[in-house]
């Protein structure tokens, strides 16, 4: 159990570094990585990752508190909350194998897309915030990986980096609170391994966020996104085609 807890802490640390720098990725990396070496039902993993992600959201808001775009927080957050609750309830009822394959397909497709088009931005229109909030909330509740969709839609608004990260954190926070509450209300409980190590995992996420704050400007965003894209494709193919 000690070795597994250490592995989770390390993964959480690096996921927090990546997620803080890019505005998404903490949940995506944890949800896609933990099933590779831990055999727990997907809803239990989503509950654990959701709790870790709540703290990751708070770190983003605290460490990059140079300003929020509250209009965008409301525009994304309101539809995201409703869609996240729906997605979380669906997760409790759907077959796990189908969910894992769906997650694999989403990760692989998104990884291929951002690798081939790293500068892509969703067009900014009247309904961009609503569509981005609803779609990212639904996928977050269903598969725990709504961050990439939220990031793609937020990029349409050309926010300064600190404002982008803090605004993304605030939107994710309300989404995560709802989906975690929905998982718990549906009877999902975390395994003892997750519960016993939770304080350490939370501290690992804080350490990762602090490191990201210090190096966020030192890495080319295009190169960074392509490295993450390659990882997402590899993990997505694993879930899609392998048992």
Consecutive 10-residue averages of pLDDT for the chain (243 residues): 87 88 77 80 89 91 79 91 92 79 79 74 82 90 82 79 83 92 92 92 94 76 68 74 64
pLDDT at 220: 67
Instruction: Give the pLDDT confidence score for residue 81 in this predicted structure.
Output: 93
In the chain, helix, strand, coil percent, each to 5?
Answer: 80, 0, 20
In sequence order, what E strands does the chain have?
none
End-to-end CA distance of the chain: 24
Domain range for 216: 2-241
How confident is the model at residue 23, as a pLDDT? 66
Confidence (pLDDT) at 242: 61
pTM: 0.82
List, in order, residues 6 or more apart from 137 with CB less than 8 Å away. Answer: 79, 80, 81, 82, 83, 84, 87, 146, 175
- Residue 184: its pLDDT value, please? 92
Q: How many domains does the chain have?
A: 1
- Answer for the pair 34, 8: CB distance below 8 angstroms, yes or no: yes
What pLDDT, on the 0 to 100 scale, is given for residue 152?
75
Q: What is the pLDDT of residue 219?
A: 65
DSSP annotation of 74: H
pLDDT, residue 224, reads 63
- Contact criterion met (CB below 8 Å) for 202 and 57: no
């Amino acid at each position: 159990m000690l070795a597994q807890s250490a592995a989770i802490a390390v993964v959480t640390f690096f996921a927090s570094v990546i997620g803080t720098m890019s505005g998404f990725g903490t949940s995506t990396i944890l949800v896609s990585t933990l099933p590779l070496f831990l055999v727990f039902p997907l809803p239990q993993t989503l509950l654990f990752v959701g709790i870790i992600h709540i703290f990751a959201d708070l770190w983003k808001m605290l460490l990059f508190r140079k300003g929020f775009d509250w209009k965008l927080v409301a525009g994304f957050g309101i539809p995201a909350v409703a869609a996240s609750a729906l997605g979380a309830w669906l997760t409790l009822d759907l077959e796990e194998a189908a969910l894992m394959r769906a997650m694999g397909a989403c990760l692989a497709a998104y990884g291929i897309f951002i690798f081939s088009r790293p500068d892509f931005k969703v067009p900014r229109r009247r309904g961009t915030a609503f569509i981005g909030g609803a779609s990212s909330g639904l996928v977050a509740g269903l598969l725990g990986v709504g961050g990439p969709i939220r990031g793609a839609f937020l990029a349409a608004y050309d926010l300064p980096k600190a404002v982008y990260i803090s605004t993304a954190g605030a939107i994710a926070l309300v989404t995560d609170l709802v989906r975690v509450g929905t998982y718990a209300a549906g009877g999902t409980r975390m395994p003892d391994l997750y519960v016993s190590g939770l304080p350490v995992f939370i501290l690992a996420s804080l350490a990762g966020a602090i490191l990201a704050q210090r190096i966020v400007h030192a890495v080319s965003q295009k190169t960074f996104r392509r490295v993450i894209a390659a990882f997402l494709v590899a993990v997505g193919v694993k879930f899609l085609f392998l048992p």
